[in-house]
Amino acid sequence: MSRTEMGALDWDSCDIVLVTGDAYVDHPSFGMAIIGRLLEAQGFRVGIIAQPDWRSAEPFQALGRPNLFFGVTAGNMDSMVNRYTSDRRLRHNDAYTPNDEGGKRPDRAVIAYSQRCREAFPDAPIVIGGIEASLRRIAHYDYWSDKVRRSILLDAKADLLLYGNAERAIIEIAHRIAAGESPKTMRDVRGTAFVSKELPADWLEIDSTEIDAPGPVAAHPDPYAIKNPHLQPLSRQERELDGSPLPAREGSAMRASLLQPRLPHHDRDKTVIRLPAYEQVRSDPVLYAHASRLLHLETNPGNARALVQRHGYRDIWLNPPPIPLTTPELDAVFDLPYARVPHPSYGDAHIPAYEMIRFSVNIMRGCFGGCTFCSITEHEGRIIQSRSERSILREIEDIRDRAPGFTGVISDLGGPTANMYRLACKSPDIERACRKLSCVYPDICPNLNTDHSSLTGLYRKARELPGVKKILIASGLRYDLAIRDPAYVRELVTHHVGGYLKIAPEHTETGPLSKMMKPGLGAYDQFKALFEKFSKEAGKEQYLIPYFIAAHPGTADEDMLNLALWLKRNGFRADQVQAFLPSPMALATAMYHSGRNPLKGIHRQRGELVASAKGLKQRRLHKAFLRYHDAENWPLLRDALKRMGRADLIGNGKRHLIPDWQPAGTGITGGEGARTGRKHRGQRFLTQHTGLPPNNRVATATPLSPSGRGRGNG
C-alpha cells in the first residue's frame, strides 16, 4: 500500500495496482483481498490503493505505473447504494471505511477512479470489475438520476470489464498481458465485456426481438450503415414498423431472420444475440424490459450465448458468464494466506464491515432463488459453488488460533443464503440446458436436490472442534427449502440459533410476491411450526425475525395494509424500515422503470403491466404501514385508511390498526388530535399486543446490504 512497503519487499515497481473504494481488509469476505492474494499466488507483484482522494491524479501515482494494468473496483458495495438511501437521501456513514466515516469514496466510484488512473498514467491498461461494474455492464436504469445510462465501460473508458466472480478471468488476463498481449485485443475470455466496432464475419447474429418479440417498435437509425437493397432485413420489429427496414452493415456477422432461415446446427460458441441499442432502451421502456428479460435468460454458463448492444457507433459485447469454480478451486481461493485483519496503517480504527464478518466463514457462493430485487444472481450466478468440509473446518481453526478477540463463537457459516450448501440439480445435463430464472419459484423444481445432510454434517463437525463454543447461523435462511428436510431444521434450531433467526417472507400478498418470485406464506407457516416445535423440544425460548420489503413493484396500498394487519395479528413491530431500492440490472428494477413484467413475455399490446410506488408520499405510506405502531405515522395512516374506505380500522380496540387519538408532540402533520393525558395508555397498547420481548425488532429487507454478503450484494 506504500512505497515504503515496496522497498521492504525489494520491489522497484508493481505488476498490477488495484484501486478500491473500501478500506483494505485482508480477509476473504472482501473482494479486493481475494483478487490481490490470488494474483500474488500467480507470481505477480500487487499494490493496493485503498480509498484514494479522487479529486486529483496524485494519489493514483503513489505506487508508480503498473507494469501490466490497473484493476479498479468501487469495493464490496455499489458506491451509489453505499452513499444514498432508498429515498435518495445522503448517508453520513460508511461501514467499509475506518471509523464508519462517510464521504471517503466518490459517487460512481468506478468511473471516477478509472478517469484518474488514465490521467495518472495515460498508457496503462485499465480493467474494471466488482459489483458496481458488474451490474452496469450494459445500458441500465439508474435510480439516482432517474434515467437509463449507457454501459459503464464507456464512461470509465476502460479496456475490459470483468463481471461476476472473476478469479478465472483475472488470472488469464494477467498472464496474457504479461506475455505481451494487449487487453484491447482480448475477445475470448468468459465473464468479460469489451467495446467493439464490428462483429466477426463467421459469427451468427440473432436479433433479440426474433427470440422474444415485443411488438412494433421505433427503428434505431444507423448513420454508419451502408445502403444495400440486396441484404436481408434486420428484424421483425423493423419489418412491422413501416416496411422500410434498415440494411445490415457490410462486413458484419451473418444475420438470422424469419425471411432468412438460421443456419442448422450453428456453433453456439459463435452465436451472438443483439439486444436493442442503448438509444432505443433509453427512450422506450418496453424495449428496456425486453432487453432485461433477454439478458437474464442468457445467464446459465451451460447454455448462455454472447450478447451485444449498440451504443452509438460502437458495440458493447458481453461474453457468456464465467464457468463456476469447482470445489478444489474454491478451496484454493479461500486457503490463500490472508492476514484476516485490516491493514496495519489503520491502527486501532474501527471498520464496521470487518467487525461484522471477522468471525464468520463463507461456505458457498451463488443463489438459485432468483429473487427479482436481489443482485446476487446477476453477480454470482444461480449455480451453487461449495467449499469442502476440510477447507471450511481449517478456516474455523485458523480463526480460533489467529483472530484477535476470538471468544469461541463463530458468528456465521453461510453466504448469500444459509442453506444452499451443496444443493444442485440432480442432472448435470438438465442443469446445463435449463433456462429457468429460479429453481424454487413458483415451486421447488423436482430436479433440485433438497437434501441438507451435507450441511447438517458440517454443522456437527464444526461445533466439535476444540476451542469452538458456539456456531451461529446469521445468513438469511431459505425456509421453503428447509421444510423439505425437517432433520436440518431440528439441527439448526437445537444448536445454531442465538435466540433469534432471520428469515425473509418479504410480503404476505400474492401480488408483490409474484413479482419478487417468492413463495407464499404457507411455507412460512410450515417452517414456523417446525421452528417452534424443535425450540420447545430443546427447552429454548427462540423467535423468528421476518424481513419485509416496502414499495416493491406490484405492491398496492391495499397490499401494505394487509401486511400491516398480519404484523399486528402475529405480534410483530417493525423497527428499521427501508423501501425497495432499484439496483441496476435487477428484474424488479426493470418492472419499476418500464411498468412491465419481464418475468413473462414482453409485448407492447398484451404484456402484463406492473405498478410501482414512485412518489415520495406513496413510498412513505408503504413504510408507514410497516411501522403502524409508531405514533409519528398515525396521521398519514388515518388519511390513507379513510381514503381507502377502511376507517373501521381506526379506533382504540384490539381489532383496530391505529388509534383515533394522537400523543402530544408526535405526528408528521403536527400532532393533530393530540391528547396528552392518554400518551402512556398508547405506549402500553403497543407493548401488550406484541407477544414478544419489548425490544424485538423486525427490519425490512434492503436489496444491497452493508455486510456485502446478503440481500443482493454478493
Q: Please determine, for residue 225, whether its predicted confidence score (pLDDT) is greater than 70.
A: no
Per the CB < 8 A criterion, the answer to whether 39 and 33 are in contact is no
- Alpha carbons 217 and 592: distance in angstroms, whole number: 20
Q: Please determine, for residue 271, whether its predicted confidence score (pLDDT) is greater than 80.
A: yes
- Alpha carbons 141 and 110: distance in angstroms, whole number: 17
Cell numbers describing residue 364 = 458457498
Q: Which residues contact 376 (CB under 8 A, 6 or more apart)?
A: 366, 367, 369, 416, 712, 713, 714
Q: Please determine, for residue 133, whether its predicted confidence score (pLDDT) is greater than 90.
A: yes
Cell numbers describing residue 176 = 496474457
Cell numbers describing residue 502 = 432471520
Encode 418-438: b = buried (16+ Cβ within 10 Å), e = exposed. Answer: bbbbbbbbeeeeebeebeebb
Q: Which residue would you say has higher pLDDT here, 266 or 328?
A: 328
- Alpha carbons 26 and 591: distance in angstroms, whole number: 38
pLDDT at 667: 84
Per the CB < 8 A criterion, the answer to whether 387 and 422 are in contact is no
pLDDT at 311: 97
- Alpha carbons 352 and 407: distance in angstroms, whole number: 18
Q: What is the DSSP string of 230-273?
A: TSPPS-HHHHHHHS-PPPPPTTS-EEE-SSSPPPTT--GGGEEE
Q: What's the mean pLDDT when you consider all of the chain?
A: 88
Summarize pLDDT for 576-634 with one digit per residue, the tens. 787 999 999 999 999 999 999 999 989 888 889 999 999 999 999 999 999 999 999 99
227 confidence band (pLDDT: 50, 70, 90)? very low
Q: Please determine, for residue 691, whether its predicted confidence score (pLDDT) is greater than 90.
A: no
Mean pLDDT over residues 547-570, rounded?
A: 96
Among the residue ranges 211-220, 267-276, 291-300, 477-486, the one predicted with the least confidence is 211-220
pLDDT at 663: 93
Cell numbers describing residue 85 = 438511501
pTM of the model: 0.88
253 confidence band (pLDDT: 50, 70, 90)? low
pLDDT at 502: 87
Per the CB < 8 A criterion, the answer to whether 482 and 488 are in contact is yes
241 confidence band (pLDDT: 50, 70, 90)? very low
Q: Please determine, for residue 228, whether its predicted confidence score (pLDDT) is greater than 90.
A: no
216 confidence band (pLDDT: 50, 70, 90)? low
Q: Please determine, for residue 39, whether its predicted confidence score (pLDDT) is greater than 90.
A: yes
pLDDT at 676: 34
Summarize pLDDT for 1-31 with one digit per residue, the tens. 999 999 999 999 999 999 999 999 999 999 9
Q: Please determine, for residue 259, whether its predicted confidence score (pLDDT) is greater than 60.
A: no
- What is the C-alpha radius of gyration for the chain, rounded to an integer number of angstroms? 26
- Alpha carbons 71 and 310: distance in angstroms, whole number: 25
Q: Please determine, for residue 285, whether its predicted confidence score (pLDDT) is greater than 50.
A: yes
Query: What three-state secondary structure class fits 578?
Result: coil
Amino acid at 53: D
- Alpha carbons 319 and 296: distance in angstroms, whole number: 14
Per the CB < 8 A criterion, the answer to whether 18 and 49 are in contact is yes
Q: Please determine, for residue 403, whether its predicted confidence score (pLDDT) is greater than 50.
A: yes
- Alpha carbons 166 and 131: distance in angstroms, whole number: 11
pLDDT at 578: 79
Q: Please determine, for residue 273, whether its predicted confidence score (pLDDT) is greater than 50.
A: yes
Domains, the chain, in order of start with CATH, read: 3-190 (3.40.50.280), 204-309 (no CATH), 359-548 (no CATH), 556-704 (no CATH)
Among the residue ranges 31-45, 231-245, 436-450, 560-574, the one predicted with the least confidence is 231-245
Q: Please determine, for residue 567, whether its predicted confidence score (pLDDT) is greater than 70.
A: yes
Cell numbers describing residue 211 = 427470440
Cell numbers describing residue 9 = 519487499
Per the CB < 8 A criterion, the answer to whether 33 and 26 are in contact is yes
Q: Cis before residue 442, ω within 30 degrees of 0?
A: yes
202 confidence band (pLDDT: 50, 70, 90)? confident
Tell me the β-bridge partners of 308: 274, 317
Residue keyed to cell 481488509: 25
Amino acid at 140: H
Tell me the β-bridge partners of 69: 16
- Alpha carbons 523 and 70: distance in angstroms, whole number: 48
pLDDT at 256: 54
Cell numbers describing residue 19 = 484501486
Summarize pLDDT for 330-381 with one digit per residue, the tens. 999 999 999 999 999 999 999 999 999 999 999 999 999 999 999 888 889 9
CA 154 to chain centroid:
22
Mean pLDDT over residues 244-253, rounded?
A: 40
268 confidence band (pLDDT: 50, 70, 90)? confident
Per the CB < 8 A criterion, the answer to whether 483 and 528 are in contact is no
- Alpha carbons 49 and 63: distance in angstroms, whole number: 8
- Alpha carbons 234 and 484: distance in angstroms, whole number: 49
Sign of CA dihedral 382, 329, 450, 533: negative
Among the residue ranges 211-220, 373-382, 541-550, the one predicted with the least confidence is 211-220
- Alpha carbons 368 and 380: distance in angstroms, whole number: 10
pLDDT at 236: 43
pLDDT exceeding 70 applies to what percent of the chain?
86
Q: What is the DSSP string of 93-105?
A: B-TTSGGGBS-SS
Summarize pLDDT for 58-115 with one digit per residue, the tens. 999 999 999 999 999 999 999 999 999 999 999 999 999 999 999 999 999 999 999 9
Per the CB < 8 A criterion, the answer to whether 396 and 462 are in contact is yes
pLDDT at 576: 74
pLDDT at 693: 35
Which run of H or E residues covers position 90? none
Q: Which of 619, 651, 604, 541 is nearest to 216 (CA)?
A: 604
Q: Please determine, for residue 242, whether its predicted confidence score (pLDDT) is greater than 60.
A: no
210 confidence band (pLDDT: 50, 70, 90)? confident
